[in-house]
Structure 1
């Protein structure tokens, strides 16, 4: 691919001027103008040939981390080629660029580091955040994914090693919804880490200090939010990712009415889980208002899902109290008794002597169990069998990531219920063949079904504050896109191979909703929203390398007409 060192003029900065990354697809004229004629083999390749080489190399690799490193290298050298291959094989490659392999990559971040991606803002940068944003080469940023690295997937505190999450998340913004990559900015806020292993690792790349939990931390986040809006505008979408539970909830409450922001761990997870329940109700034959849900875990994911389920139930006609009474939570201390302000709505009188999660299942008799504890295989064989005894079509969602943190496997869920359960997981599991020859394909409750489409709608509509009702609308839209045939195959979500179309359709539906509810600020309102959305999505075809204008000394670019 293109190497800046081959050019006689200043090189593009990271993530900047991606029209240059054509590799051997540069034409002879382009090579002559750029001064790289002779520095590449004489063949002018098509993108098809480049993609074939890329795919062939990937097929030779068996180690997921090796694939991740190779993929990220291609992204650095040739972004359009990277996204073309990712989109064409999204089912195989999404688990590499995101969950679960990205978790492994985060734990090894300092050991596999090649080139910085995104912005690193530390607690020592207070008072200078705006100047750091000014160092980012792109001025037209539309979406930011930010983490402080405290709760990376189910892996805990990884400090600046958490940068892999915003980078991976934004890959999906582009691959799944066509949001232009140069408009995406990954950010990690480094306030230290409480991970003793990292604090003693000579290759760790962040501050060697315990997490700062003082007012200085809040001041830094405030300064960051203000600087983003000042530089990029008040409709810039800021997604909070993998913050600790306490900070995740309070920042959502603090900023949601002031900025265009959401927390994917709370709201995105809630939306995709609700979509799975809405799809499952078609198979079960009973409305969501008749379900009883028992959560394993009571953190941000559980509370986000529970609150959105309540919203869906109340929209269907039941009172809020009645809806909340249908939802129970079990954490490491047992059924909720000690509560915080976030959990209070889902605490009930004790139903009896409950000493284990299995006791809770047998006592509460839920129609659905949802695992978001991140503690491994706690949906035991006895728990799964009990759900199968209590329900003709038990709903079992093992949503914790990465794969080894899932509450059970798809194989256990299906085989222990004779294929009757409706199963979804956070990490991918392969198809399961039952003893009677049936093959069931488990659904993956991946947030990638939600956040790219929602973000695309928010960006093109100029939304400034994202209501929970937007995520309710997204969940309903996702469930509607599941066909009866796919449901019969065991799926609760459309195939990942169709996720670009799923995201575009979701963006259209959400766009219709926000304009109807007066949440949009971009006018005039497009009459043909479907055509408008489809016209905005980024494609992976090469443009000419010549931009309209560049001001580089000694290089005379004549204006060219670009294809988009």
Structure 2
């Protein structure tokens, strides 16, 4: 980040040239560690901090940002940072890291990106005792003033930068994430990456898996470990994909189960089922499982997807049961950072005898089995989705972003997977190709947006791919050394 402060173009050139190795440093999993220590490593602000004390004059705070042509904003309130919980203003590392990827992965100009952290306090008692904590020393404000603050923030951003400004919500608590998505999606150009971006990358993995199994997505039974915003976002997009393949919506929902900290999400259980979870709260099975392993035994899923952020809950016996039930079990351990992953790639491949189709949220090294077979786990990283979607949205001047956009993005990503990648065990293309992947997603999404009357940039570019490529910011250096062979013959030496 010191390089970014001194020489921005060099920073992005270095990042792009070795993105597969450096992405885990700029983003997951290192960004999680950076957020936990943010006040201790802080040197200078990289984004805009807005506190609840600023209520009533947020527009003047936004006016202080020096850039006049912002196209993309990533905002967090720090309540649920990755799988680490409430980190308050230390969560600023997430918007900063996300917007680095907007530029590195999709060529969105860095000066058109604005990271924002909303400070309403924190319920993390250790931070409230931390002398280096940079935020308000108070419990998180959950009064109507919080909603008023977010309303005022949304109005201030669009008032200064325009109604088409993309506002990405990031790492809000589950309740607020769904609430704000419903509240703002028809009023502003906004999406929630934890709900929609995660959904698209997970669905892309399932679509890629069907190339290996030959089993269409409509025939899968999916069991989630976790029932928060990531699980519900993925589940709803899977339902949308199944419906597109001719499955009635109720039948599609019945193929999806969830298991949270209170047990199986089902009708009539003592613990409250959130209104967002109700479509996936089915009548209780014959016997009620008392552990995730029992749920696997009882429901016999073809895929398990971990998004609970609770650590190693895909135990050896769970993995072995999945291998016994399925010829090619699908195992997605998507929780971040690495310490929160449900299992490692080595555990998954070893305990399923190399038959599983595995994806993780954080990177894992190549796994070599005793018989000599090697597998490279696909990383189900949202960076495959949100930069390309953001690029398409910005170039198309979209006013509202529908879930169909993320369905198209998921399909476009799955189509980027080559047969050699699949043979290696990958469900996603190599991260070294991510700039090209983002361009392909942007082109596919733009075609969808214009075809469905959602784009407001006119005239419509007749050829989308050359248009997208002409608009991306590049970190290539211009050469100021003329080609000696082009000099006039009589030029002085």
* Residue aligning to 1:111: 40
TM-score calculated relative to the size of structure 2: 0.95
Aligned match for 1:437, one of 352, 359, 372: 372
How far off is 1:333 after superposition?
A: 0.7
TM-score calculated relative to the size of structure 1: 0.83
Report which of the two structures shows the higher radius of gyration computed on alpha carbons. Answer: 1
How far off is 1:543 after superposition?
A: 6.7
Counting only pairs closer than 5 Å after superposition, residues 344-359 of structure 1 correspond to structure 2 as 344-351=278-285, 352-359=287-294
* 1:297 correspondence with 2:226: yes
* 1:463 correspondence with 2:398: yes
CA RMSD across the alignment: 1.0
Counting only pairs closer than 5 Å after superposition, residues 128-277 of structure 1 correspond to structure 2 as 128-277=57-206
* 1:373 correspondence with 2:308: yes
* 1:525 correspondence with 2:460: yes
- How many residues are paired up? 474
Aligned match for 2:2, one of 73, 92, 107: 73
* Residue aligning to 1:7: none
* 1:394 correspondence with 2:394: no
Query: In structure 2, the residue corresponding to 1:102 is in which secondary structure?
Result: helix
Aligned match for 1:335, one of 264, 277, 281: 264
Aligned match for 2:343, one of 394, 408, 417: 408
Q: Distance in 1 between matches of 2:291 and 2:38?
A: 38
How far off is 1:484 after superposition?
A: 1.0
Q: Distance in 1 between matches of 2:297 and 2:326?
A: 11
* Residue aligning to 2:450: 515
* Residue aligning to 1:285: 214
**What are the ranges of 5 or more consecutive residues in structure 1 without an aligned counterpart?**
1-71, 546-564
Q: Distance in 1 between matches of 2:264 and 2:83?
A: 21
How far off is 1:544 after superposition?
A: 11
How far off is 1:104 after superposition?
A: 0.3
Q: Distance in 1 between matches of 2:358 and 2:350?
A: 11
Q: Distance in 2 between matches of 1:191 and 1:354?
A: 39
How far off is 1:370 after superposition?
A: 0.2
How far off is 1:283 after superposition?
A: 0.5
Q: Distance in 1 between matches of 2:17 and 2:477?
A: 16
Alpha-carbon deviations, 1:117-168, whole Å to 9, x = none?
Answer: 1000000000111111110000000000000000000011111100000000
**What are the ranges of 5 or more consecutive residues in structure 2 without an aligned counterpart?**
267-271, 481-493
How far off is 1:528 after superposition?
A: 1.1
Q: Distance in 1 between matches of 2:288 and 2:112?
A: 54
* Residue aligning to 2:439: 504
How far off is 1:506 after superposition?
A: 0.6
* 1:316 correspondence with 2:250: no
How far off is 1:435 after superposition?
A: 1.0
Q: Distance in 2 between matches of 1:541 and 1:474?
A: 27
Q: Distance in 2 between matches of 1:178 and 1:295?
A: 34
Aligned match for 1:446, one of 374, 381, 385: 381
Displacement over 2 Å in runs of 4+: 541-545
Q: Distance in 2 between matches of 1:419 and 1:228?
A: 50
